[in-house]
């Protein structure tokens, strides 16, 4: 069928992802090709010392993204979206959204970006003998308990942003196993919450005198492909304010952006991996076996079908680059030169390829916020140079780009150098790779591994969750998720691969040596400028 016929027949599939800076809605056809999209830009707010988005912003943004999707469909195909075959919801992983028995939120949404949970994460890591990151839901919950926050006693449901939106649209309190693994660790054998760790935590709950048990307040963990509810009449009205969308579409389990990134890059099999590089960055390596020991820099999560994944998550990636590019934009405007942002990014990024491989000694730190991988509670973006460094535009831009993946390199060096993990393919996606060949080449040098970028790299997580919705709705043959993606999605997609150049790897190693040596300056800057 044509795209118009697919939409009219109610066979199109909708994927929505609530990212850090953009909410994106993508409509795909029965062959998994994107046929329409809409988006809404938003930003987190620092309120009372915590990074958050209001619930009003969540729903205004979702509705606006859907309005723009509907406009795109009307302009392209002159047809209304009345029915959908399936829907998937994805969002930023982790964070903290507690609700009482009446469905009222008890505390402002605390996002992955918050680093106020150091005490809780450290204590839980020791109790569980498992690395528990600062941003995980269990860390936020335990920190609230340690702080004796009044609302904790009234918690009846705790979920992530994806789980919250899914709940409001379907009435189902569930999570995909990948997103669930960012709440409390998952047992790979059962693909459910680790019973031993739950029992350890419940003992703490009992000592604090709360009436609830952990599994009573957590969403149910579901494997990819399982039907996770349908769009209710209230949910349809909530999503589509025009009233055209009808209830009934099946939902896949809601997932985090890490899981949808794996799906969108076909990196769900063991020995495959992906790197997502945008506002934040993270690498996901699907493991063949357990690591030899816990590492503070490495989180163990799962694929959407429950396989263990070594995740290196960095709070900061392209935000400081964007700030500098905006400065160059102002300079052009000051001169009266018309500004094309794509061209500006392209010129500046390509200049980085002509730079010295170690940036001529220039050092950059891109820490807009804290960075748990290196133990930094707060961030201060910085440029450092000595009088003898080669300070030019090319070296400056290369330092910015190398800085954006430096912490990612530090974490992955543990996997590849200490754990001797083997990977057949690493695929990159996200804003860092928008200028062809530049971010890809620098990341290849950072982790000393070939990096593939597919032609679908720009589709992102909204496309990934739409694929998971399609897997739920259309997998009549009972294929595994890797089989389904190989056969039904990626058999016709190609990618370009860049292998690391030895001189670039050597240059990045020199950069990282300086980077580590200068970190005390960053720490002092945090202390000095409050």
How many other β-carbons are positioned within 10 Å of the β-carbon of residue 418?
12
Q: Do domains 94-159+184-217 and 266-456+500-530 have the same CATH topology?
A: yes
HEC readout, 96-125: EEEECCCCCECCCCECCCCCCCHHHHHHHH
User: With 70 as the cut, is the pLDDT of residue 507 above it?
Assistant: yes
| CA 191/CA 180 separation, integer angstroms | 9
Q: Who's near 374: CB < 8 A, 6+ residues apart?
A: 407, 410, 519
* Average pLDDT of the chain, as a whole number: 95
pLDDT in tens, 135-189: 999 999 999 999 999 999 999 999 999 999 999 999 999 999 999 999 999 998 8
- % of the chain beyond a pLDDT of 70: 99
pLDDT band at 20 (very low <50, low <70, confident <90, very high): confident
pLDDT in tens, 248-287: 999 999 999 989 989 999 999 999 999 988 888 889 999 9
How many other β-carbons are positioned within 10 Å of the β-carbon of residue 121?
23
pLDDT of residue 456: 64
pLDDT in tens, 43-86: 999 999 999 999 999 999 999 999 999 999 999 999 999 999 99
| CA 187/CA 524 separation, integer angstroms | 41
pLDDT band at 458 (very low <50, low <70, confident <90, very high): low
- 115: tokens are 């680093």
| H helix intervals, 417-459 | 438-447
pLDDT of residue 366: 96
pLDDT in tens, 274-326: 998 888 888 999 999 999 999 988 999 999 999 999 999 898 999 999 999 99
pLDDT of residue 457: 55
User: With 60 as the cut, is the pLDDT of residue 480 above it?
Assistant: yes
User: With 70 as the cut, is the pLDDT of residue 120 above it?
Assistant: yes
Architecture of domain 266-456+500-530: 2-Layer Sandwich (3.30)
pLDDT of residue 494: 76
**CATH topology for 94-159+184-217?**
Nucleotidyltransferase; domain 5 (3.30.420)
Q: What are phi and psi of 87, to 5 degrees?
A: -140, 145
**Burial (CB count within 10 angstroms: exposed 0-12, middle 13-18, buried 19+), residue 497:** middle
| CA 512/CA 12 separation, integer angstroms | 47
pLDDT of residue 444: 96
pLDDT of residue 279: 84
Residue 46 pairs in a beta bridge with 51
Tell whether pTM > 0.85. yes
User: With 70 as the cut, is the pLDDT of residue 244 above it?
Assistant: yes
User: With 60 as the cut, is the pLDDT of residue 37 above it?
Assistant: yes
Q: Are 446 and 409 in contact (CB under 8 A)?
A: yes
Each domain of the chain, given as residue ranges in start order, spans 94-159+184-217, 266-456+500-530
Q: What is the mean predicted confidence (pLDDT) over 475-492?
A: 91
pLDDT of residue 459: 65
pLDDT of residue 529: 78
């Amino acid at each position: 069928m044509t795209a118009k016929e697919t939409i009219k027949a109610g066979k199109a599939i909708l994927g929505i992802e609530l990212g850090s800076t953009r909410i994106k809605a993508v409509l795909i056809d029965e062959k998994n090709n994107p046929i329409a999209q809409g988006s809404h830009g938003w930003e987190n707010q620092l309120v009372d010392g915590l990074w958050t988005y209001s619930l009003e912003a969540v729903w205004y943004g979702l509705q606006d993204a859907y309005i723009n999707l509907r406009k795109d469909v009307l302009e392209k195909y002159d047809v209304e979206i009345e029915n959908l075959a399936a829907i998937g919801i994805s969002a930023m992983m982790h964070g903290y959204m507690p609700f009482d028995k009446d469905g009222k939120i008890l505390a402002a949404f605390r996002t992955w970006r918050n680093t106020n949970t150091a005490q809780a994460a450290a204590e839980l890591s020791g109790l569980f003998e498992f690395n528990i990151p600062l941003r995980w839901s269990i860390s936020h919950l335990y920190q609230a308990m340690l702080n004796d926050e009044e609302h904790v006693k009234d918690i009846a449901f705790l979920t992530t942003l994806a789980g919250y939106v899914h709940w409001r649209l379907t009435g189902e309190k569930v999570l995909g196993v990948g997103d669930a693994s960012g709440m409390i660790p998952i047992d790979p054998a059962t693909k459910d919450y680790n019973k031993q760790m739950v029992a350890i935590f419940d003992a703490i709950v009992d000592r604090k005198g709360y009436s609830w048990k952990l599994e009573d307040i957590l969403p149910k963990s579901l494997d990819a492909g399982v039907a996770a509810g349908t769009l209710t009449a209230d949910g349809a009205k909530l999503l589509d304010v025009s009233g055209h969308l009808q209830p009934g579409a099946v939902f896949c389990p809601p997932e985090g952006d890490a899981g949808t990134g794996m799906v969108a890059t076909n990196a769900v099999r063991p020995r495959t991996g992906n790197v997502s590089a945008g506002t934040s960055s993270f690498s996901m390596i699907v493991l063949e076996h357990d690591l030899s020991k816990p590492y503070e820099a490495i989180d163990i999560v799962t694929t959407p079908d429950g396989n263990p994944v070594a995740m290196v998550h960095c709070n900061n990636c392209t935000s400081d680059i964007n700030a500098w590019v905006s400065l160059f934009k102002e300079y052009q405007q000051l001169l009266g030169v018309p500004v094309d942002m794509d061209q500006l990014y392209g010129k500046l990024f390509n200049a980085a390829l002509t730079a010295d491989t170690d940036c001529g000694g220039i050092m950059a730190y891109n820490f807009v916020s804290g960075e748990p991988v290196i133990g930094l509670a707060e961030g201060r973006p910085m440029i450092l140079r000595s009088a003898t460094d080669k300070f030019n535009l090319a070296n400056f831009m290369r330092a910015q780009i190398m800085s954006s993946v430096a912490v990612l390199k530090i974490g992955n060096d543990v996997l590849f150098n200490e754990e001797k993990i083997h990977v057949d393919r690493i695929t990159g996606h996200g804003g860092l790779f928008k200028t062809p060949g530049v971010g890809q080449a620098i990341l290849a040098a950072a982790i000393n591994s070939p990096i593939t970028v597919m032609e679908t790299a720009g589709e992102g997580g909204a496309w990934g969750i739409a694929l998971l919705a399609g897997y739920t709705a259309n997998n009549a043959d009972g294929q595994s998720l890797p089989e389904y993606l190989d056969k039904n999605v990626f058999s016709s997609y190609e990618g370009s691969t860049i292998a690391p150049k030895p001189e670039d790897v050597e240059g990045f190693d020199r950069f990282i040596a300086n980077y580590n040596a200068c970190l005390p300056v960053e720490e002092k800057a945090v202390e000095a400028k409050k």
